[in-house]
Structure 1
Amino acid sequence: MTNHTGGSRLFEPTTLGRLDLPNRLVMAPLTRNRAAADGVPQPVMATYYAQRASAGLIIAEATTPNAVGRTYPNIPAIHAPEHVAGWRAVTDAVRAAGGRMFLQVQHGGRVGHPDNSGLTPLAPSPVALPEEIHTADGRKPSVVPREMSVEDIRATVADFAAAARRAVEAGFEGVEVHAANGYLLHQFLAPNTNRREDEYGGPVGNRIRFVVEVVRAVADAIGPERVGVRVSPGVAVNGVEEGDDTELVYGALVAALAEQGLAYLHVVFADPDQPLFQDIRKAWPGTLIANPVLGWGGPLPADGGRGAGERLLAAGADLVSLGRAFLANPDLVERLRVGAPLNAVREQYLMYTGGETGYTDYPRLGGTPGSGTPPQLSRAAA
């Protein structure tokens, strides 16, 4: 097969703090709903992540730091000893395959349901998610969350710190604090979901306070060199509307986080042509991971995002994260390196289905496993 790398920086070895990375491609965290009902990671998850260990870094899927932060059914957790043991099996498998992992820690905030967690969701303000939410019994109307008290806020900060300590105990190299995509931390940043009138609401400096406190507590717990943060400036998902002060919010947030010596900042749907991305790159002193705009739910580009990733590197990103391309291609790094065709993403198996189908059965080049050529795909079609 002809080699088409052309000296691309995507495939250059680099470092992330004390970690040596074999390339600049990061497997982005994407929810796959394969944990047990109680949040314990299952053996199939170890297979799935180990298959993708050639990524420069794997950031494991969103994992809840406490029971009330649970979003959807079969989401993994990291707040009990059995969760640590389940994740340890995953990190051991990835390390044996030569990989490195961070764990994304996510609290859903108002993106949750009593049918999923057994609890009323908590949020900055009692503003319900505008759409229905998936439960084990199908989609149901969202509920009005309970507004977090200052005591709730302090307890949640402590839960994030404890989750980070458990993640390190479970064998992760570090954690990514999820402050993006309309979940709890993002809800504090956005004025339509944060209507508080205390020190956590109103002016920009107040709205970033909770995120900064969480990150500082996590960094104190495991060391800042083990901590990354994910943000999604201007991304309107899960009903979040940032309003007219997006630049002010992220300018202040990045400045506050830049003082903490963190492992990285991870920007979702980064556009190298947008001034905000350029401003973040100028303001952020450390490693910047950029996740390209490849379309929300549409087909992947034929190159799997390689071209978009190279443009982001040229614009100042240090690492590039890809999501769905890694889901469908356990050997994505090699496919991109040699210009091989990519497996198509079977969207119907992305979430809520469980099992190996659409998860560990995507074939490698030549039709070898994954864990095998899926029965519904011929070798040629793959």
Structure 2
Amino acid sequence: MTTPTSLFTAFNLGPLELANRIVMAPMTRSRSTQPGDVPNAGMATYYAQRASAGLIVSEATQISPQGKGYSFTPGVYSAEQVAGWRQVTDAVHAQGGRIFLQLWHVGRMSHASFHADSQPVAPSALRADAQVWVVGDDGVGRMVEVSAPRALSESDILAVVEDYRIAARHAREAGFDGVEIHAGNGYLIDQFLRTTSNTRDDAYGGSRENRIRFLLAVASAVAGEIGAHRTGVRLAPYITARGMDCPDVIPTILQAAKALDALGIAYLHLAEADWDDAPQIPEPFRHQLRRDFSGAIIVAGRYTLERGQALLDAGLVDLVAFGRPFVANPDFPARLKNGWPMADFDGSQLFGGTELGYSNYPAYQ
């Protein structure tokens, strides 16, 4: 077997030199201060502890109140939120780390309680087969069925694109090294990409060109605000949960990748299924994506050192993202490199709560 070494070597992501090719994947932890969904000092501690990753991609962060779908997730649309995120980026940079903010609009993956008019929005008025985490009046968080959405008008769509642009500007003001546009996992942009969730008959629906139009508008707006070299996009080609099993999604995503390559964005980040018997991404798709996209490619989805290194050796990816291992192992890269034992996380403490199960996991002794 190839000696696994390149995962721990430096990598240039646009103008940024990353210390290694290990990415901390975005993970929702729902620890923001209420009211206002404001990032806080506890979050700064949590991310700074994990700054030995070559790149941290923050938890998904709503670009507007309309974009919210889960309780206690942070935003990046208010002055208080921007100031809160500045604490986080300062703490990460003080440890020598790099961090991108993941920009998020959940679309129909939301609940009426988050919206003044009691309705989430979506490309089409189709309810998702899914649940979201909502804290009730009793202070207890529960998974509840999503609410029925209303379809966005064309003027609504333009307003959402502008929300993304402003969010990118706020990310820059908060000190982030770049942003990642969340276009996967059944959220708003992914909903536009798939025929199962997008039944529009206007310029944003029908053909592949039309279904990728919203993604490209968002990417263009964000890149125009902070630079394409500081812009990434997360896609989930083979994840079909939440009513997203579209028969045309793979050619649609490959067409989108070509168009994003023409924009010159820094990377594509593939969210892969991470359950026990999940389907593996076919190798022909990986080769085609590498031909269609000249920027960096990140993969995430229950990777081991060996699986990630094999794709690096094959030249099919440039960085490998790890999620859950970072929860209980703040020094995950060192543990991986040295073969030190990994700690297990407390699943009951993943969403909401205090520093317990969040920033109280120790480094390896």
> Normalised by the shorter chain, which TM-score bucket?
over 0.9
Q: Which amino acid aligns with 2:157?
A: I
Aligned to 1:298: none
SS of the residue 1:341 aligns to: coil
Deviations 1:98-122, CA, capped at 9 Å, x for gaps: 1110000010000111213444211
Aligned to 2:5: 8
User: Is residue 171 of structure 2 the alignment partner of residue 162 of structure 1?
Assistant: no
Aligned to 1:265: 268
Q: Distance in 2 between matches of 1:52 and 1:67?
A: 28
Deviations 1:230-284, CA, capped at 9 Å, x for gaps: 00102113332222x2231012101111101111111111856532122111211
Conservation of the 8 A alpha-carbon contact between 2:328 and 2:345: yes
Relative to structure 1, the CA distance from residue 182 to residue 16 in structure 2 (aligned partners, 3 Å threshold; closer, same or farther) is same
SS of the residue 1:172 aligns to: coil
For 1:280, which of 278, 281, 289 is the aligned residue? 289
Deviations 1:184-238, CA, capped at 9 Å, x for gaps: 0000011111011111011111111100110011001111111000001021133
SS of the residue 1:68 aligns to: helix
RMSD: 1.5
Dislocated runs of 4+, deviation >4 Å: 270-273
Conservation of the 8 A alpha-carbon contact between 2:4 and 2:305: no
Q: Which amino acid aligns with 1:183?
A: Y
Deviations 1:126-157, CA, capped at 9 Å, x for gaps: 01122343211134332210100001100000
Q: Distance in 2 between matches of 1:346 and 1:309?
A: 25
Aligned to 1:131: 130
Q: Which amino acid aligns with 1:44?
A: G
Q: Distance in 2 between matches of 1:6 and 1:249?
A: 37
Conservation of the 8 A alpha-carbon contact between 1:255 and 1:284: yes
Q: Distance in 2 between matches of 1:169 and 1:360?
A: 25
The alpha carbon displacement at 1:291 in A equals 1.4
User: Is residue 280 of structure 2 the alignment partner of residue 247 of structure 1?
Assistant: no
SS of the residue 2:67 aligns to: coil
* Residue correspondence of structure 1 range 69-84 to structure 2 within 5 A: 69-84=67-82
In structure 2, runs of 5+ residues without a counterpart are 137-141, 274-279
Q: Which amino acid aligns with 2:50?
A: R
The alpha carbon displacement at 1:305 in A equals 1.8
Aligned to 1:23: 20
Deviations 1:38-94, CA, capped at 9 Å, x for gaps: 211021100000000000000101001111110100010001111100000000001
SS of the residue 2:263 aligns to: coil
Aligned to 1:56: 54
Aligned to 2:29: 32
For 2:209, which of 205, 210, 213 is the aligned residue? 205
Relative to structure 1, the CA distance from residue 139 to residue 324 in structure 2 (aligned partners, 3 Å threshold; closer, same or farther) is closer
Q: Distance in 2 between matches of 1:287 and 1:325?
A: 23
SS of the residue 1:85 aligns to: helix
Aligned to 1:321: 321
Q: Distance in 2 between matches of 1:133 and 1:54?
A: 31
For 1:141, which of 138, 141, 145 is the aligned residue? 145
SS of the residue 2:325 aligns to: helix
Q: Give the stretch that moved more between structures: 225-234 or 269-278.
A: 269-278
Q: Which amino acid aligns with 2:109?
A: V
Conservation of the 8 A alpha-carbon contact between 1:43 and 1:89: yes
Deviations 1:2-56, CA, capped at 9 Å, x for gaps: xxx9451100011111111110000010100001232110211000000000000
Conservation of the 8 A alpha-carbon contact between 1:39 and 1:83: yes
Q: Distance in 2 between matches of 1:73 and 1:280?
A: 35
Q: Distance in 1 between matches of 2:346 and 2:243?
A: 26
Q: Distance in 1 between matches of 2:109 and 2:58?
A: 20
Conservation of the 8 A alpha-carbon contact between 1:272 and 1:312: no
Conservation of the 8 A alpha-carbon contact between 1:167 and 1:175: yes
User: Is residue 196 of structure 2 the alignment partner of residue 188 of structure 1?
Assistant: no
Identity %: 44
Q: Distance in 2 between matches of 1:117 and 1:97?
A: 38
Aligned to 1:301: none
Q: Which amino acid aligns with 2:145?
A: P
Relative to structure 1, the CA distance from residue 272 to residue 136 in structure 2 (aligned partners, 3 Å threshold; closer, same or farther) is closer
Q: Which amino acid aligns with 1:202?
A: G
Conservation of the 8 A alpha-carbon contact between 1:234 and 1:242: no
Aligned to 1:330: 330
Q: Distance in 2 between matches of 1:29 and 1:280?
A: 22
Q: Which amino acid aligns with 1:21?
A: L
